[in-house]
Amino acid sequence: MYTIGIIEDEYFAQRVLINLLEKHKSLIQIAHISSTVEEAKKDIATYTPDFVFLDIELPGGNGFDIIDCLKKHKSKIIFTTAYEKFAVKAFEASAVDYLLKPILPERLLVAIERMIQQIKTEKEALNYEGLKSNLATNEVQTITIKYKDSYKILNVSDILYFKAEGAYTHIQTTEASYLQSHKLNFYEGIFQQHASIIRVHRSWMIHRKHISTFSKSKRSVTIANQEIPISKTNSKAVFDLLA
């Protein structure tokens, strides 16, 4: 049995989550329901829940104001939010678990199971500061990747390119390279509205600021001595952008 906290200021949203969680009472027990930042801090210190459902927007501050308290008591976090569009990219880029309102029952179960697995393995997979900066700027500034037995934060400005490797993606930065278990389409979704990350080929995405040369005749660009092809379909748009 795992104890949870609900940190949510809207009564209706509280009731919806409580009703959904009732179906999982064999796994979890609600330890507290908090409506404000200060109330949440007191309840977390008193009940030390295994994990909490944390709304981002709260009276007297926001969910990020509670994170230090949660870390101190080793409580994991599932963010709940009504944000849409860009926020989804920010959450995914930061490897942070989240539920979009209205919460779907099947998505709730996935989040609970994932959080329990995190607690069992005692691996911290959340990059709260990265999420905060991504949401604040309305453009993804950092991404969280798996690295060895943990996680690593990459600044987007340091990424040279993404290259598809079957079901994986090779990410090359100015310092090192990383193989990730996501297809290239996953990263394309995150950077779809990004001004500097460009999909140039079915197997390549590049950061435009690192381009050293480009050739219209060869339909290619060069980044750090790596020649990268530009697909015929993308060539006009890419070269117009570079020009």
**Predicted confidence (pLDDT) per residue in 143-201, tens digit:** 989 888 777 889 999 999 999 999 999 999 999 999 999 999 999 999 988 889 999 99
Alpha-carbon dihedral angle through residues 134, 135, 136, 142, given to the nearest 10 degrees: 0
What's the pLDDT at 86?
57
Q: Does 3.40.50.2300 match the CATH number of domain 2-134?
A: yes
What's the pLDDT at 125?
47
Domain limits, the chain: 2-134, 139-242
> Hey, CA dihedral for 55, 41, 108, 191, is it positive or negative?
positive
The average pLDDT across 91-120 equals 82
Q: Name the pLDDT band for 202 (thresholds 50, 70, 90).
A: very high
pLDDT tens-digit readout, 11-40: 999 999 999 999 898 889 999 999 999 999
Contacts of residue 237, defined as CB under 8 A and 6 or more positions apart, other chains included, come to none
What percent of the chain is modeled with pLDDT above 70?
93
What percent of the chain is modeled with pLDDT above 90?
50
CATH class of 139-242: mainly beta
> Furthest-apart CA pair in the chain: how many Å?
68
